[in-house]
Amino acid sequence: MERTAVDSVIHLAAKKQVGESTRDPLLYYAHNIDALANVVSAVSSVGVPRVVFSSTAAVYGETAETAVAEESSTTPINPYGRSKLVGEWLLADTARAKGFRAASLRFFNVAGASDAKLADPGVTNLVPIVVEAALNGRPVQIFGDDYPTPDGTCVRDYVHVEDVASAHVAALDHLTGAGDPHRVFNIGGGAGSSVRDVISAVEAASGRQVEARVGPRRDGDPASVVASVARANTEIGWAAHFSLSEIVSSEWAARA
């Protein structure tokens, strides 16, 4: 940072699999907190004035709120979510103490791809799971279809990875002015899509039928979780531009 006169840092690096975090919490605290502390220590010692931190909606835990705002309760239910919330605290406390400005971006369900070379090979979230099912002719498991939602399946907020990228730029631009030492922003589409909506979108993008098998509900799955993005709209001038159809189409094009 001293050699290259760094004036801004965007911290993206993290471990992010919920199940793995439960099996090996020390790994997650080492990567997501200890490593972040090293970066923030360098930032504060050199005097870098701006930091943007990639956080997660997992910090909210099992919320009962349909539209989740930044002021909502943060009660993460797994080591991954807890490690990211502690990371936010670490960044906020140091920003206040050392005089730099920082923003934590809480991503909701990120999906899609801007290029096949940049496609995420992981199959741990719903969109890539359904796309892989369409590619390989496998059924998709739906965990409960009796929720109080329009079609009975869980509703979630999906945001394209390119919109997430633009959110980082908007947050960084925002930090060039005066203001609070640390702000938190939800980064989501601001609209909900059900499990069946995602399956239908993949069928439309792929031209293939996807068999859905309904099973019992999973413990801890709320009926609907959608981001309130009013703060990001107002304070940093950011809004998502990609629809669910465009998110799924880009994922399909990158994987097919």
Contacts of 34 (CB under 8 A, 6+ apart): none
Active site residue: 28, 80, 147, 158, which one?
80
Q: Which pLDDT score is estimated for 220?
A: 65
- Is 29 an annotated catalytic residue? no
Encode the chain (256 residues) as per-residue pLDDT tens digits: 999 999 999 999 999 888 899 999 999 999 999 999 999 999 999 999 999 999 999 899 877 787 899 999 999 889 999 999 999 999 999 999 999 999 999 999 999 998 888 877 777 789 999 999 999 999 999 999 999 999 999 999 999 999 999 999 999 999 997 889 999 999 999 999 999 999 999 999 999 999 999 999 877 677 888 999 999 999 999 999 999 999 999 999 998 8
Q: Are the C-beta atoms of 182 and 95 separated by less than 8 Å?
A: yes
**pTM given for the model:** 0.91
> Would you tell me how many other CB atoms lie within 10 Å of the CB of residue 5?
8
| Domain extent listing, the chain | 9-255
Q: Are the C-beta atoms of 129 and 139 separated by less than 8 Å?
A: no
Q: Which pLDDT score is estimated for 210?
A: 96
The rounded distance, in Å, linking the Cα atoms of 92 and 87 is 9
Determine whether domain 9-255 maps to CATH 3.40.50.720. yes
